Amino acid sequence: MCGIVGYVGRPGAPGAAAGGGAAVALEGLRRLEYRGYDSAGIAVVSEGAVAVRKRAGKLANLVELLDADPLPAAHTAIGHTRWATHGGPTDANAHPHVDGTGRVAVIHNGIVENFAALRAELRESGVEFTSETDTEVVAHLLGAQLERTGDLTEAMRAVCLRLEGAFTLLAVHADAPGVIVGARRNSPLVVGLGEGANYLGSDVAAFIAHTREALELGQDQVVTITPDAVDVVGFDGAPAQGRRFHVDWDASAAEKGGFPSFMAKEIHDQPQAIADTLLGRTDAGGRLQLDEMKISEAELRAVDKIVVIACGTAAYAGQVAKYAIEHWCRIPVEVELAHEFRYRDPVVSERTLVVAISQSGETMDTIMAVRHAREQGAKVLAICNTNGSTIPRESDAALYTHAGPEIAVASTKAFLAQITACYLLGLYLAQLRGNKFADEVADVLAQLHEVPGQVRQVLDGLEQVREIARYMADTRSVLFLGRHVGYPVAMEGALKLKELAYIHAEGFAAGELKHGPIALVEPGQPVFVVVPSPRGRDSLHSKVVSNIQEVRARGARTLVIAEQGDTEVEPYADVVIRIPRTSTLLSPLLAVVPLQVFACELATAKGLDVDQPRNLAKSVTVE
């Protein structure tokens, strides 16, 4: 989720910036800081050359560099804030990236899925890389195309046809002052339409200070902007149209993509978070590859136990993954709260794989548990959303989620991305250890690739849930029941309601109800029940329907999450919330979404700050 800014202006024109391109780019990057980033940079075209300044860390570091070594005056500039995916947050990995001549500069948001093959091809041709990024591959490909065509637009089109994955690209060329070329596939790009100046941005926040007239680019389109013209073509070269719109949002709303909160925006970012986490995980033959893991195949084959360590929502992701990994790999999986694991004498050995799940990578409880595990001789794999953070740095290997920066304190898109990454790990182990044939792995991967669309379907049908949440704004206690993979979903649903709406909420394993918690049920008690697919393991569904009857018989108000077509739940449900059909093991990725939206909407109805709930921090960096 990098931040992208582009500016071209006619000197002295009404819309042109007084401070020149670098100042406009820097100001745009400041408006994109909310997106979270770990490095930043700017490139300008001036006097027949491209000049670049870039630094790891916050914008202040870039400003310090610009003060010491200013960019030349220019009216063509591109700026970038990077959220590291391929390669840590370093000066060298910061964008913009240039080709070997230094005469074309590129910035990028997204993931080039086939960058490894392209990198190898370029190396073969003698290219020497200066960074670990997928973006630098694009810079060299553009440079090579420019030698052939001399035209930046044509060069961009030709390069885009070779790229796979999700990308927004901006490029400038020393021989083309006053021109920026952009391209997008599966990643946003908008044009800001000014007078004597035009802008580009990953979202309107980049240029809303200068113009509210915008043009949204469509899939597989290339745009060429000059101070007085905007021209759009498809990757195939045919003329194309973007979607013209007027930006009604104020600057604050622009940062949230028009949503009322980062929490709401990030819930709706979940399809993209899952899709991006799945990107680049298979080789040309379709076999799963997790080459960033850096634990040898021999060591992974020898693993005889997996221990997941995490806190809060991340721990619930681990609990969901337990069911899948044990089923696919036949390896025992324990899920431990990191702060508990830290203080006991766990039975681990060099054949234990400890999986540390963390969005921030800075949770002190989990850091201390990682250190404890390594002291006990275990191999540690981090599943993390923040490249270069402490937990992956102190682990033996890392598997990164690509959910993008999660701004809201309560975790949503990171949760789904963590489950997705855990499933990739489980499938990889099953493939490596021979528990699953390649076609079986491919089948599950195909189902996973359908999940973003299914989550989108769930999100598009939740007005019922929002109405219920507003109606229940005064409720003081809600119970959540689930069985099998539905149990950690129930726990996560309860946690969301606690941390967003400050309501007593408790998640239970549905089978545990009769062992005590059912005493809590009194007439009118709201109870959410996460129902497994009736097409799954037969006992699961019928048992949970019995649990619904048990609480309904005692006057509970039952709100049931069930797959489309499951009619058996209807006689016992006051409310049925439908999710698309999917396999039992993948259903948590869908079933949790209504619970996230319920908690967010109820908290909003109570007038609470859903992005920064009381008493909470985004990353708990103390034990």
- Residues identified as active-site: 2, 618
- DSSP element (H, E) containing 272: helix 270-278
Q: Is 7 helix (H, G, I), strand (E, B) or coil?
A: strand
Residues 543-582 that bind ligand AGP (CB under 6 A): none
- In the bound state with ligand AGP, the residue whose beta carbon lies nearer, of 414 and 430, is 414
Q: Are 480 and 506 in contact (CB under 8 A)?
A: yes
Nearest CA-CA partner of 423 in 268, 578, 301, 583: 583
- In the bound state with ligand AGP, the residue whose beta carbon lies nearer, of 328 and 415, is 415
CB of 84 to ligand AGP, least distance (A): 16
Q: Which residue is nearest to ligand AGP (CB)?
A: 312
Residues 31-90 that bind ligand AGP (CB under 6 A): none
Q: Is 509 helix (H, G, I), strand (E, B) or coil?
A: strand
Residues 478-537 that bind ligand AGP (CB under 6 A): 499
Q: How far is CA 131 from the centre of its chain?
A: 23
- In the bound state with ligand AGP, the residue whose beta carbon lies nearer, of 24 and 356, is 356
- In the bound state with ligand AGP, the residue whose beta carbon lies nearer, of 496 and 578, is 496
CB of 333 to ligand AGP, least distance (A): 18
CB of 368 to ligand AGP, least distance (A): 12
How far apart CA 306 and CA 308 sit, in angstroms, is 6
- In the bound state with ligand AGP, the residue whose beta carbon lies nearer, of 136 and 365, is 365
Please classify residue 575 by burial: count the beta carbons closer than 10 Å to its beta carbon, then call 0-12 exposed, 13-18 middle and 19+ buried: middle
List C-alpha distances in Å: 302 to 63, 305, 348, 350: 50, 9, 13, 9
- In the bound state with ligand AGP, the residue whose beta carbon lies nearer, of 365 and 566, is 365
CB of 619 to ligand AGP, least distance (A): 5
CA dihedral 534, 536, 541, 542 (to 10 degrees): 90
CB of 485 to ligand AGP, least distance (A): 18
Q: Is 76 left (phi over 0), alpha (psi -120 to 50) or beta?
A: beta
Q: Is 69 helix (H, G, I), strand (E, B) or coil?
A: coil
> Binding residues for ligand AGP, how many (CB under 6 A)?
15
How far apart CA 106 and CA 118 sit, in angstroms, is 16
Query: In angstroms, how far is the first alpha carbon of the chain from the final one?
Result: 30
SS3 annotation, 410-477: CCCHHHHHHHHHHHHHHHHHHHHCCCCCHHHHHHHHHHHHHHHHHHHHHHHCCHHHHHHHHHCCCCCE
Structure tokens at 45: 């075209």
Q: Is 604 in the site for ligand AGP (CB under 6 A)?
A: no
CB of 594 to ligand AGP, least distance (A): 16
Helices of type H across 330-363: 338-341
How far apart CA 51 and CA 325 sit, in angstroms, is 50
CB of 497 to ligand AGP, least distance (A): 11
- In the bound state with ligand AGP, the residue whose beta carbon lies nearer, of 172 and 370, is 370
DSSP letter assigned to residue 397: E
List C-alpha distances in Å: 321 to 2, 239, 318: 29, 47, 5
Please classify residue 313 by burial: count the beta carbons closer than 10 Å to its beta carbon, then call 0-12 exposed, 13-18 middle and 19+ buried: buried
CB of 411 to ligand AGP, least distance (A): 4
State the DSSP string of 103-159: -EEEEEEEEETTHHHHHHHHHHTT---SSS-SHHHHHHHHHHHHHHH--HHHHHHHH
- In the bound state with ligand AGP, the residue whose beta carbon lies nearer, of 46 and 261, is 261
Cβ-based neighbours of 588, under 8 Å, separated by 6 or more: 320, 419, 485, 486, 488, 489
CB of 3 to ligand AGP, least distance (A): 22
Q: Are 316 and 495 in contact (CB under 8 A)?
A: yes
- In the bound state with ligand AGP, the residue whose beta carbon lies nearer, of 572 and 598, is 598
How far apart CA 30 and CA 5 sit, in angstroms, is 10
CB of 1 to ligand AGP, least distance (A): 16
Site track 277-316 with ligand AGP (rule: CB under 6 A), x = hit: ----------------------------------xxxx--
Residues 353-412 that bind ligand AGP (CB under 6 A): 358-360, 363, 366, 409-411
How far apart CA 334 and CA 520 sit, in angstroms, is 29
- In the bound state with ligand AGP, the residue whose beta carbon lies nearer, of 312 and 346, is 312
Q: Which residues bind ligand AGP (CB under 6 A)?
A: 311-314, 358-360, 363, 366, 409-411, 499, 619-620
